[in-house]
């Protein structure tokens, strides 16, 4: 590649992370600067970080243009990364500065390198040898010349740090100062390789051909849970490493467990680089820098890892590609799955979208010939898919305030006797969704949002699931002041825990819900302990549905299979189908066959029937027909425009005005609907309305939206955000 270099004093355009939507002119500093360099520039009285985006405009008096302060000691941004950010900005209608912020999320980017103590094998001989000391020495020998921090070394050897310190004193282990930002140990593509089954081999061969071609291509890798999708895409990662290119595996945040990293380590001999919210600042900075130097071959990360400065990206895997958490719902509204495809296409890289229940979007892209499809049809080994059936709640005898049907209870009893695990699934956090006053009928709501407060008995508080506000559980009704008349209505996982424990007093029951933990790490540790057999019955929300392996789990009971079908969202059927299939997939992964029981009041509902029959092809065909008829994604284009303001009148007035003056949209044949209350109609004291814009697949939607929105002078109190491809419609 021809890297452009600017000499000292030459004008360059710098894009900063500050919300100014122009590239600003600066003079190249002493020694000059490269295109794409990360630099520090003066902006008013401040110093800010930016990237040399191109030539300067020359629109300003040269004498007054300031100089770049310094060039940061990190790899310059590559041209295709610039293109990626520009295209992503244009697609999501996001200012470039906000896009650049995503790409500079390295804490302490401009700081000098910080040092830390590391340990490696020294030359001294120990005065005496103990088991613990031998372990430390073996670890260091196994890993050749690598050095580790005290904590890493002690953990890997399974000894206390005092053992290592003793060895340091005698010179057996040497101590030195090293920069914190060190390369990641090399991964061995041939380490821990498993023999693939014939089916897997066939799929892997196609994927490997794609890697070998060194061109862009997207493959939808579909296969039931436990069919070996992970096994197969790790082969593609291995091929990518052999080709000397970098690989990125994206997982939904919640699935980023130690379990997965251990698996990668078992396959490649070393842990990969990690990028997600649970990673320390120091480690993030190291990851960012090393990815930029090509000294991290594989990154396992959450969606924002897409914006890391890869030097030679050859493969992006998006695992659980249908997962709604790939859609960022704050700040820049992007879908990591779609952005992965964009990024790969600019890097001549391959994309693998893996899922047991692909999104309708990917399905449609396969149909349209844009994605290639590969399928794994059977589970690995003798494991079979769980037997799924419905429990018709209309005929079951369940007392008021209880939710477990006799049929489900019997199935659980059977598992307890066989010492197997059961999972009871209810996608509702807290104790009860409604707190109702029996005297006046008042339901306690959030003061700042349009949502009910949910009782969390474990925390002894009421919580708003929209804004996170909590308050102590009151003893009297805030409305009529009646004492002791507040009662819990409806089930949440905590309440299910109580009910199940009462049914089986001797069973070990564990409730798994994200708010019961102080940190993501604590939660993941608990999940792993449970997977190892640390309890008999798991009661869980959505978070157990993803990626965790429970080898002894043979029964899944869904308390309310109808829950996701309520409401008018056109995606509700797809979501319910995916979630139910995924939850059911938790059972019977190992040698033991599993069973899934769905409690439902509408067993004849088309979606429930499709779930039970596992008849995906016809389910998707029916879904596709419905979406085509409605002209909505993936067969049409949509955008949601959300207006928010503390003043409810204002949002509706502006919304109505926008809907009236819709000429730029009509010109491309697009339609505007609304304004209507947004899916979250009030949050943190701000009222929200939404306009939905619908257009044909080929229409230049972004351009028309920009012109349309640009017509309006919005009051300062009002915020507008544009969501291309909204999650709900
Ligand atoms: P998926 O990603 O489709 O859910 P996995 O790749 O996790 O499937 O495979 C399910 C289980 O079967 C894992 O424990 C995995 O290690 C094992 N497995 C799959 N394929 C093989 C193979 N070819 N050899 C050995 N074990 C395998
Ligand atoms: Zn709230």
Residue 520 confidence class, pLDDT cut points 50, 70, 90: low
Cα dihedral sign, 340-342-343-344: positive
Maximum average pLDDT range among 148-152, 219-223, 251-255, 524-528: 219-223
Least confident of 90-94, 187-191, 315-319, 677-681: 677-681
**Is 477 labeled as ligand-binding?**
yes
- Which residue has a Cα nearest atom 25 of ligand 1? 194
Q: How far is the CA of 228 from the centre of ligand 1 (A)?
A: 4
Q: From the CA of 196, which ligand is nearest?
A: 1
- Closest C-alpha among 531, 468, 471, 537 to residue 500: 537
**Is 464 labeled as ligand-binding?**
yes
Q: From the CA of 229, which ligand is nearest?
A: 1
19-39 confidence digits (pLDDT tens): 887 899 999 999 999 999 999
83-93 confidence digits (pLDDT tens): 999 999 999 99
Which atom of ligand 1 has the smallest separation from the CA of 233?
6
Which atom of ligand 1 has the smallest separation from the CA of 585?
4
Q: From the CA of 452, which ligand is nearest?
A: 2
Q: How far is the CA of 445 from the centre of ligand 2 (A)?
A: 8
Residue 1 confidence class, pLDDT cut points 50, 70, 90: very low
**Is 535 labeled as ligand-binding?**
no
Q: In this structure, how many other beta carbons lie within 10 angstroms of the beta carbon of residue 455? A: 27
Residue 264 confidence class, pLDDT cut points 50, 70, 90: very high
Return phi, psi of residue 695, to 5°: -140, 170
Residue 582 Cβ < 6 Å to ligand 1: no
At residue 589, the pLDDT reads 62
Domain formed by 5-104, architecture: 3-Layer(aba) Sandwich (3.40)
Report the residue among 262, 354, 378, 380 best suited for mutation to probe ligand 1: largest number of ligand atoms under 8 A from its CB: 380
CATH class held by domain 115-179 = mainly alpha
Percent of the chain with pLDDT over 90: 50
**Is there a shared CATH topology between the 115-179 domain and the 387-431+491-624 domain?**
no
Distance CA 76, CA 501 (A): 58
At residue 728, the pLDDT reads 76
Q: From the CA of 381, which ligand is nearest?
A: 1
Residue 289 has pLDDT above 50, yes or no: yes
Residue 274 has pLDDT above 80, yes or no: yes
Q: How far is CA 427 from CA 65, 207, 217, 575, 576, in A?
A: 58, 36, 36, 12, 11
**Domain coordinates in residue numbering, the chain:** 5-104, 115-179, 198-376, 387-431+491-624, 432-489, 636-724
Q: What is the pTM of this model?
A: 0.84
Distance CA 541, CA 437 (A): 27
Least confident of 74-88, 324-338, 406-420: 324-338
**Running DSSP on this structure, what letter comes out for residue 563?**
G
Helix (H) or strand (E) holding 470: strand 470-472
Which CATH superfamily is 198-376 part of?
P-loop containing nucleotide triphosphate hydrolases (3.40.50.300)
Mean pLDDT of the chain: 88
Q: Is 721 helix (H, G, I), strand (E, B) or coil?
A: strand
At residue 590, the pLDDT reads 58
Q: How far is the CA of 221 from the centre of ligand 1 (A)?
A: 14
Residue 386 Cβ < 6 Å to ligand 1: no
Which atom of ligand 1 has the smallest separation from the CA of 263?
16
Residue 223 Cβ < 6 Å to ligand 1: yes
Distance CA 627, CA 296 (A): 42
- Give the residue, 550 or 665, on which the prediction is more confident: 665
Mean pLDDT of 689-711: 91
Query: Which contacts of 210-214 are long-range, i.e. CB under 8 A and separated by 24 or more positions?
Result: 210/236, 210/350, 211/236, 211/239, 211/240, 211/243, 211/314, 211/315, 211/350, 212/239, 212/243, 214/243, 214/314, 214/348
Distance CA 65, CA 42 (A): 10
555-585 confidence digits (pLDDT tens): 999 999 888 777 667 778 888 888 888 888 7
Report the residue among 192, 199, 226 best suited for mutation to probe ligand 1: largest number of ligand atoms under 8 A from its CB: 226
Q: How far is the CA of 216 from the centre of ligand 1 (A)?
A: 27
345-400 confidence digits (pLDDT tens): 999 999 999 998 899 999 999 999 999 999 998 877 766 678 889 999 999 988 88
CATH class held by domain 636-724 = alpha beta
Distance CA 249, CA 306 (A): 10
Query: What is the maximum alpha-carbon separation in the chain?
Result: 87
Which CATH superfamily is 387-431+491-624 part of?
P-loop containing nucleotide triphosphate hydrolases (3.40.50.300)
At residue 253, the pLDDT reads 77
Scanning 243-373, the segments in alpha helix (DSSP H) are 258-268, 281-293, 336-346, 360-367
Residue 547 confidence class, pLDDT cut points 50, 70, 90: low
Q: How far is the CA of 462 from the centre of ligand 2 (A)?
A: 10
Q: How far is the CA of 434 from the centre of ligand 2 (A)?
A: 14
Residue 478 has pLDDT above 60, yes or no: yes
Q: Are 504 and 490 in contact (CB under 8 A)?
A: no
Query: Which contacts of 676-682 are long-range, i.e. CB under 8 A and separated by 24 or more positions?
Result: 677/450, 678/640, 678/642, 678/644, 679/728, 680/449, 680/450, 680/451, 680/466, 681/450, 682/448, 682/449, 682/450
- Which residue has a Cα nearest atom 6 of ligand 1? 228
Q: How far is the CA of 450 from the centre of ligand 2 (A)?
A: 7
Residue 2 confidence class, pLDDT cut points 50, 70, 90: very low
**Interface predicted TM-score of the whole assembly (ipTM), two decimals:** 0.97
């Amino acid at each position: 590649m021809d890297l452009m270099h600017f000499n000292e004093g030459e004008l360059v355009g710098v894009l900063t992370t500050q919300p100014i939507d122009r590239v600003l002119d600066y003079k190249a500093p002493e020694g000059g600067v490269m295109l794409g360099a990360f630099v520090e520039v003066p902006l008013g009285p401040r110093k800010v970080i930016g990237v040399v985006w191109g030539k300067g405009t020359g629109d300003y008096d040269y004498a007054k243009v300031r100089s770049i302060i310094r060039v940061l000691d990190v790899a310059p941004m590559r041209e295709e990364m610039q293109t990626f950010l520009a295209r992503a900005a244009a697609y999501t209608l996001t200012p470039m500065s906000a896009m650049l912020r995503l790409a500079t999320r390295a804490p302490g980017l401009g700081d000098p390198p910080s040092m830390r103590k590391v340990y490696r094998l020294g030359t001294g001989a120990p005065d005496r040898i103990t088991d613990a000391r031998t372990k430390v020495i073996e670890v260091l020998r196994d890993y050749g010349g690598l050095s580790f921090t005290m904590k890493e070394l002690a953990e890997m050897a399974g000894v206390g740090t005092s053992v290592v310190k003793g060895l340091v004193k005698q010179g057996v282990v040497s101590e030195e100062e090293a920069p914190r930002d060190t390369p990641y140990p090399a991964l061995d593509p041939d380490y821990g390789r498993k023999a693939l089954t014939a089916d897997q081999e066939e799929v892997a061969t196609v994927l490997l051909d794609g890697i070998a071609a060194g061109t862009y291509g997207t493959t939808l890798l579909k296969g039931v849970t436990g069919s070996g999708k992970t096994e197969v895409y790790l082969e593609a990662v291995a091929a990518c490493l052999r080709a000397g290119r970098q690989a990125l595996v994206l997982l939904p945040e919640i699935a980023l467990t130690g379990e997965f990293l251990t698996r990668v380590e078992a396959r490649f001999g070393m842990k990969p680089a990690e990028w997600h919210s649970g990673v320390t600042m120091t480690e993030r900075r190291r990851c960012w820098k090393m990815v930029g130097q090509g000294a991290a071959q594989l990154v396992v990360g959450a969606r924002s890892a897409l914006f890391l400065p890869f030097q030679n990206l050859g493969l992006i895997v998006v695992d659980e590609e249908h997962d709604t958490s790939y859609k960022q719902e704050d700040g820049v509204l992007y879908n990591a799955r779609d952005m992965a495809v964009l990024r790969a296409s600019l890097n001549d890289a391959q994309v693998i979208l893996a899922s047991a229940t692909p999104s309708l979007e990917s399905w449609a892209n396969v149909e349209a010939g844009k994605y290639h499809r590969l399928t794994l049809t059977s589970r690995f080994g003798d494991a079979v898919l769980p037997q799924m059936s419905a429990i018709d709640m209309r005929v079951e005898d369940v007392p008021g305030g209880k939710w477990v049907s006799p049929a489900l209870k019997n199935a659980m009893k059977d598992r307890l006797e066989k010492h197997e695990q059961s999972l009871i699934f209810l996608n509702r956090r807290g104790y009860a969704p409604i707190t109702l006053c029996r005297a006046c009928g008042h339901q306690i709501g959030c003061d700042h949002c349009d949502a009910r407060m949910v009782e969390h008995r474990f925390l002894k508080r009421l919580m708003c699931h929209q804004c996170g506000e909590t308050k102590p559980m009151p003893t009297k009704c805030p409305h009529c002041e009646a004492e002791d008349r507040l009662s819990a209505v409806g089930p949440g996982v905590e309440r299910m825990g109580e009910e199940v424990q009462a049914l089986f007093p001797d069973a070990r029951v564990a409730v798994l819900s994200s708010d019961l933990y102080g940190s993501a790490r604590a939660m993941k540790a608990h999940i792993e302990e449970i997977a190892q057999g640390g309890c008999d019955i798991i009661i869980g929300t959505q978070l157990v549905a993803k990626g965790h392996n429970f080898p002894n789990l043979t029964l899944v009971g869904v308390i309310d299979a109808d829950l996701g079908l309520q409401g008018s969202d056109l995606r509700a059927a797809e979501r319910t189908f995916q979630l139910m299939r995924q939850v059911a997939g938790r059972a019977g992964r190992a040698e033991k066959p599993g069973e899934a029981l769905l409690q439902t009041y509408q067993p004849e509902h088309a979606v429930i029937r499709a779930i039970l029959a596992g008849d995906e092809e016809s389910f998707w065909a029916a879904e596709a027909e419905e979406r085509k008829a409605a002209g909505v994604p993936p067969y049409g284009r949509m955008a949601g425009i959300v207006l928010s303001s503390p003043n409810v009148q204002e949002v509706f007035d502006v919304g109505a005005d926008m809907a009236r003056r819709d000429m730029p949209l009509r010109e491309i044949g697009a339609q505007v609907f609304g304004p209507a209350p947004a899916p979250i109609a009030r949050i943190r004291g701000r009222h929200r309305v939404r306009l939905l814009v619908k257009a044909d697949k080929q229409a230049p939607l972004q351009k028309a939206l920009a012109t349309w929105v640009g017509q309006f002078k919005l009051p300062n109190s009002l915020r507008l955000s544009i969501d291309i491809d909204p999650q709900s419609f």
